[in-house]
Amino acid sequence: MSEKSLKQSLRPGSRLSGFWLSLCSPTVTEIAAGSGIDWLLLDMEHAPNDLSQITDHLRAAGSANPDAQMIVRMPSSDQTITKRLLDIGVRNLMFPMIQNAEDARRAMSWTRYPPEGLRGISATIRANNYARQSDYLTTYADAQCVIVQVETPEAVAEIPAIAAVPGVDAIFIGPGDLSSAMGHTGNPMHSDVQDKIREAVTAIHAAGLPAGILGYGADLARRYFDNDIEFVAIAGDAWLLTRQMDALVQTMAQPSPTSKQKTDKD
């Protein structure tokens, strides 16, 4: 595992591109990591990625790129899932649907051993190289990156309090659920939603934290980067595969210039 951590790279003013992985394929993870992308997110909330598969994804990413930074978004903010993900070596966690500071404090407590938190101790785990890393219990938090998601107007209003919770490293805006909560389901580009996103980014930066968002495609990703959002998911594996396959099929369905010339001569 690389000595470089996402926490070290993810700073206010950074510009980090990511791929959102939902196809449940370690091979896709390996290909994505080999691209040189800044970070990857393995989605367990809206994709059927199973806990037993996560280690294979971590290995696949690490084999393709030792510096690959993998974030795992959990299926829900849950203490047991948090513990098990950390034990298998996940260092970067995204907690979905954090509404207020109490939600953030609860999530943070699950990532830390006592007395700072409630994480249970297991002596021989992948995270400590199966008990070979003797200083794990005193150094593990240095490499951890805890990201919380704000996905409603109520959560946006609570950003100053959420950001003040010790251990929260970054805040990620969920434009899909935010637009839905604002009455614009399926339309995150609505002007009201975009205004709310800008409000969220301003509050995140005022608290001294980096902001993240989903912004698929080069144009939207650049727009968000130019608006000072530090880490942007520029594409998802399923989204990218669908678009490229559809585009190629449509292109091949059109007559080529050569075939048109032959038809004209006939």
Catalytic annotation present for 190? no
Which amino acid does the sequence have at 10? Answer: L
Identity of the residue numbered 77: S
**Of 46, 57, 184, 205, which one is the catalytic site residue?**
46
* Residue 56 neighbours by CB under 8 Å, 6+ apart: 26
Q: Is residue 132 left, alpha or beta, with left meaning phi > 0 and alpha meaning psi from -120 to 50?
A: alpha
245 φ, ψ (degrees, to nearest 5)? -65, -45
Is 201 exposed, middle or buried, given 0-12, 13-18 or 19+ CB atoms closer than 10 A? buried
Question: How far is residue 163's CA from residue 166's CA, in Å, rounded to a whole number?
Answer: 8
Concatenated DSSP letters for 92-130?
EEEE----SHHHHHHHHHHHS-TTT--PPP-SS-GGGTT
Q: Cβ contacts of residue 23 below 8 Å, gap of 6+?
A: 47, 237, 238, 241
DSSP assignments along 227-244, one per residue: TT-SEEEEEEHHHHHHHH
CB–CB of 151/178 below 8 Å?
yes
The catalytic site residues sit at: 46
